[in-house]
Amino acid sequence: MSPNRAVPRCISPLRLRRRLAAAVAIALCAVAPVGNAAAETGDEFVARLNREFADIYRELNAAGWTQATYITVDTQWLSARANERFLAAFSRAVEESKQFDGKPMSAASRRAIDLLRQGVAAPAPDDPAKRAELATILAGMEAKYGEARYCKDGGKDCRDEVQLKTVLEESRNYDELLDAWKGWHDQARGLRPDYVRFTDLANEGARTLGYKDLGAMWRSGYDMPADDFTREAARLYQQVEPLYKDLQCYARGRLAAKYGEDKVPAGKPIPAHLFGNMWAQQWDAAYDIFEPYPGVSQLDVDSALVAQNYDSVRMAKSAEAFYQSIAFPALPATFWERSMLSQPRDRNVQCHASAWHMDGKDDVRIKMCTRPTFEELQTIYHEMGHVYYYLGYKDQPFMFQNGAHDGFHEAIGDTVTLSMTPAYLAQIGLVPESKPSKEAVINQQMKMALEKIAFLPFGKMIDEWRWQVFSGQVKPENYNAAWWALREKYQGIRPPVARTEADFDPGAKYHIPGNTPYTRYFLSFILQFQFQKALCDAAGFKGPLSECSVYGNEEAGRRFAAMLAKGASQPWQDTLYELTGTRQMDGSALIEYFEPLRGWLREQNKGETCGW
């Protein structure tokens, strides 16, 4: 799953099962336990779980894949029934696991049970009526979000989220942007009472599992105490915050020049609707406003892909060739036989790109309606990272078939896309060989910074708001004020019109009503640069980190593959150490990567009133 825009860019079935569990799994806990759990040891219980879940998981994915690639009433019904069976088993397992608290077992079995319990994003109370209520609320919040429409002219002109997002991305008219922004955010007002009740019920469920509140439970999923993780996330953000502040100051100057200093005053937070994104989380859609040197070295990869007849298979082969060049294996033949890489003409499908691990072994697939664009070439390289992670840990027990922590899985493919440098693109014949000018380097870094750096404070504050809500630090009567206080603190932005507690602006971001933890994305944006630094060092690369591509370096690939093979079998600190030589996540590689842009921004910001 990705933070980009409103919907996931990539959902693996393993992570999908946890999202489904968040919605309804514990509501089914009243089902009587299966097996003779009372006669089992902890080690035997975990061994049984690994066997049973592997079988159920395969059925779940077969039904899910069929629904996604052949959408009918019947396939949706079959998928729903498979989900119910999986979630019932998942919920029974969580309930059964409680009897082994304090009992002797191997360290691996204890880790498996801990991972099982932390895989539920919204545990429900023991009371059956409350379990059912929580499931209903979660399903209802997702439905309300998906059905939301902003209507004008007496209901004749109604637009959904996608249409309103398009206005934010494409319009450069201040009033049009404001209308679309306000229209979408106003739709979330009705979610507030649902979210208040959800918080009460989910907190009660978290306490039944031994956690102080739901936020503490989420933070406990990182192989350290919850409070230690809070400090760790803050430390990471402090590392990268200066670069964000430089970018924000530059962006404000460009936006003031575009829309007027009366609307974007110096030294003040920036109105949130001017960045080309409904949530101001990534700013690359407004690159035309922020481009340092207009027209300099715009690499036309799109035209090259069309001219060279790149179809969906050839684009996927290009991604596979990159991974093979760093000593990863060829994909199984079944990948090419069973993946859906282009949009069928004869049926409805879900075109949203996703990677699938069908059987916990070699049956890996990508579902994507590929078009010959550079953005989609990057997407398929990213999805291939998930696929190779699946293949890397396929020999682990089922409970360990996941990333080292939830930030790792998203970071793998993004690490590889960092190696898609102009030099690499020239090497595979998609752009001419040339030494980029200083201006071209700054343009390239700016475009990437608008995606990567602009996201960091947003990635940090989403869960910080929820942690405060779950702990009771923020009360329901202050939900919206606390939301905007954090957005101003971290992003230096403000609502473009006055907002009150009649509004519920957090609910305008899918991951809040969808109850998807968000810190994973913040961590992945740190880790991908840390991984890239380690791989470039292993490859013996000398030069600016932003110019490094590990294409063709088998030593870098072997080290990368060794990390993937560990899955979730050990604390992530140990897995990180084996690749990077450190047990700490670290933002210094990200800062190093953007050093050319950072120096340029400081020069541009001289004399400006920065900060807010």
Q: How far apart are CA 500 and CA 419, in angstroms?
A: 45
Q: What percentage of the chain exceeds 90 in pLDDT?
A: 73
Q: What confidence tens digit (pLDDT) does each residue in 120-138 have?
A: 788 878 788 888 888 888 8
Structure tokens at 294: 């207009």
H or E stretch covering 364: strand 364-367
Give 387-436 as a 3 state SS string: HHHHHHCCCCCHHHCCCCCHHHHHHHHHHHHHCCCHHHHHHCCCCCCCCC
Range name among 229-238, 373-382, 453-462, 554-563 with the lowest pLDDT average: 373-382
Q: How far apart are CA 418 and CA 548, in angstroms?
A: 8
Q: Which of 522, 516, 520, 547 shows the shortest CA–CA distance to 533?
A: 547
Q: How far apart are CA 13 and CA 367, in angstroms?
A: 12
Residue carrying the six token digits 């999923």: 221
What is the structure's pLDDT at 516?
A: 87
What is the structure's pLDDT at 3?
A: 54
Q: How far apart are CA 312 and CA 316, in angstroms?
A: 6
Sign of CA dihedral 264, 526, 430, 377: negative
Structure tokens at 203: 């907190």
Q: How far apart are CA 184 and CA 107, in angstroms?
A: 49
Q: Which residues pair with 357 in a beta bridge?
A: 364
434 neighbors 296 (Cβ within 8 angstroms):
no
Residue 452 has pLDDT above 80, yes or no: yes
Q: How far apart are CA 521 and CA 206, in angstroms?
A: 23
The total number of residues written for the chain in this structure = 612
Q: How confident is the model at residue 16 (pLDDT cuts 50, 70, 90)?
A: very low
CA atoms within 13 A on the CB side of 580: 21
Residue 296 has pLDDT above 60, yes or no: yes
Q: Residues 247-275: what's their mean pLDDT? A: 97
Residue carrying the six token digits 């082969």: 317
387 neighbors 355 (Cβ within 8 angstroms):
yes
Residue 116 has pLDDT above 70, yes or no: yes
Q: How far apart are CA 557 and CA 575, in angstroms?
A: 15
Residue carrying the six token digits 């690490």: 415
Q: Which of 379, 332, 321 shows the shortest CA–CA distance to 357?
A: 332
Q: Residues 150-158: what's their mean pLDDT? A: 87
Q: Residues 345-372: what's their mean pLDDT? A: 90
Q: How far apart are CA 272 and CA 509, in angstroms?
A: 14
Q: How far apart are CA 483 and CA 490, in angstroms?
A: 11
Q: Which of 234, 328, 228, 237 shows the shortest CA–CA distance to 571?
A: 228
**Other C-beta atoms lying within 10 Å of the C-beta of residue 234:** 11
Q: Residues 524-547: what's their mean pLDDT? A: 97
Q: Residues 41-58: what's their mean pLDDT? A: 93
Q: Which residues pair with 270 in a beta bridge?
A: 493
386 neighbors 368 (Cβ within 8 angstroms):
no
Q: Whole-number mean pLDDT of the chain?
A: 90
Q: Where are the domains of the chain?
A: 13-120, 139-197+226-297+444-517
Q: What confidence tens digit (pLDDT) does each residue in 404-438 have?
A: 999 999 899 999 999 999 999 999 999 998 888 99
Structure tokens at 47: 């061994």
Residue 257 has pLDDT above 50, yes or no: yes
Q: How far apart are CA 535 and CA 538, in angstroms?
A: 5
What is the structure's pLDDT at 34?
A: 43
Residue 43 has pLDDT above 60, yes or no: yes
Q: How far apart are CA 548 and CA 592, in angstroms?
A: 12
What is the structure's pLDDT at 38?
A: 57
Residue 36 has pLDDT above 60, yes or no: no
What is the structure's pLDDT at 394?
A: 97
Phi, psi of 311 (to 5 degrees): -100, -175
